[in-house]
């Protein structure tokens, strides 16, 4: 386990590309310019196989969809207000999890209006690049790997999970937070949501390699 954690912390795969996305969001955190907003959604979604234009019912060509739907919908002072409030938080904890998950739910609701889909993976990835200390990256591979580590219902998180949030992402988030806390306590170190993602992807990939042997 210790070696796997060390590998996840030291892992440099994708560091250059991810660095560009982190820099983009750090230098352009606001949602007050439709072109900038649609550009951020386009780059993060395409880079992370979570493109927003994959909709339930396609009614626009992609260029029109970004221009007429994505940019105007996500140019939103309320979203900025929520993210600015979260910027004061140093790291995710059980106590502030509800506030973090509420922002995910808010963005998810906005995107559902123009796609007809939950897009929880895209929302987690988009928010992660804006607030990398707080948001764990969700997709089916890492969720599957995490579920194998924590197969049952988490104890002590009912107050968080019973709120108006996306239950699937919230359950994943809480389990990822438990994993993060356990690693930090056991190995006396700090680990980021990105490094948790590295660890879970490595676990998922190792399972695939074992199947193919």
Report the mean per-residue pLDDT for the chain: 94
Query: What is the rounded CA–CA span in Å between residue 132 and residue 29?
Result: 12
Whether the pLDDT of residue 213 is over 80: the answer is: no
Average pLDDT over residues 164-168: 96
- The more confidently predicted of residues 2 and 110 is 110
Query: Residue 182 pLDDT more than 90?
Result: yes
Q: How confident is the model at residue 211, as a pLDDT?
A: 72
- Note the pTM of the prediction, 2 decimals: 0.94
Task: Give pLDDT, residue 27.
Answer: 98
Residue 61: predicted pLDDT: 65
Q: What is the pLDDT of residue 130?
A: 98
Write out pLDDT tens, residues 50-87. Answer: 999 987 666 766 789 999 999 999 999 999 999 999 99
Contacts 24+ apart (CB under 8 A), 118-122: 118/166, 118/168, 119/50, 119/52, 120/166, 120/168, 120/169, 121/48, 121/50, 122/41, 122/44, 122/45, 122/48, 122/50, 122/51, 122/52
Domain ranges of the chain: 13-212
- The whole-angstrom separation of Cα 190 and Cα 122 is 26
pLDDT of residue 62: 77
Tell me, what's the pLDDT at 56?
62
pLDDT tens-place string over residues 145-155:
999 999 988 88
Q: How sure is the predictor about 157, in pLDDT bands with cuts at 50, 70 and 90?
A: very high
Tell whether the model's pLDDT for residue 106 goes beyond 90: yes
What average pLDDT does the segment 161-186 reach? 96
- DSSP per residue, 14-52: THHHHHHHHHHHHH------HHHHHHHHHHHHHHTT--T
More confident residue, 113 or 59: 113
What is the spatial distance between Cα 42 and Cα 126, in angstroms, rounded to a whole number?
A: 10
pLDDT at res. 164: 94
pLDDT score at 91: 96
Residue written as token pair 């929302």 = 123
- Residues 162-171, mean pLDDT to the nearest whole number: 96
Q: Check if the beta carbon of residue 114 is closer than 8 Å to that of residue 70.
A: yes
pLDDT at 212: 65
The two three-digit tokens of residue 180, written as one number: 């993060």
């Amino acid at each position: 386990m210790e070696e796997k954690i060390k590998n996840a912390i030291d892992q440099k795969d994708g560091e250059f590309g991810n660095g560009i996305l982190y820099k983009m969001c750090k230098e352009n955190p606001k949602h007050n310019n439709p072109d900038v907003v649609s550009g951020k959604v386009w780059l993060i979604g395409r880079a992370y196989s979570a493109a927003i234009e994959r909709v339930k019912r396609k009614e626009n060509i992609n260029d029109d969809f970004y221009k007429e739907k994505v940019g105007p919908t996500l140019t939103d002072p309320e979203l900025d207000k929520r993210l600015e409030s979260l910027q004061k938080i140093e790291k995710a904890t059980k106590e502030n999890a509800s506030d973090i998950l509420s922002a995910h739910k808010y963005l998810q609701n906005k995107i559902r209006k123009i796609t007809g889909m939950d897009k929880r993976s895209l929302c987690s990835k988009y928010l992660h690049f804006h607030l990398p200390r707080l948001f764990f990256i969700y997709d089916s591979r890492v969720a599957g790997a995490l579920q194998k580590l924590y197969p049952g219902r988490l104890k002590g998180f009912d107050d968080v999970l019973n709120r108006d949030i996306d239950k699937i992402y919230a359950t994943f988030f809480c389990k990822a937070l438990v994993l993060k806390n356990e690693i930090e306590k056991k190995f006396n170190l700090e680990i980021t949501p990105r490094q948790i993602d590295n660890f879970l992807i490595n676990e998922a990939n190792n399972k695939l390699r074992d199947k193919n042997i």
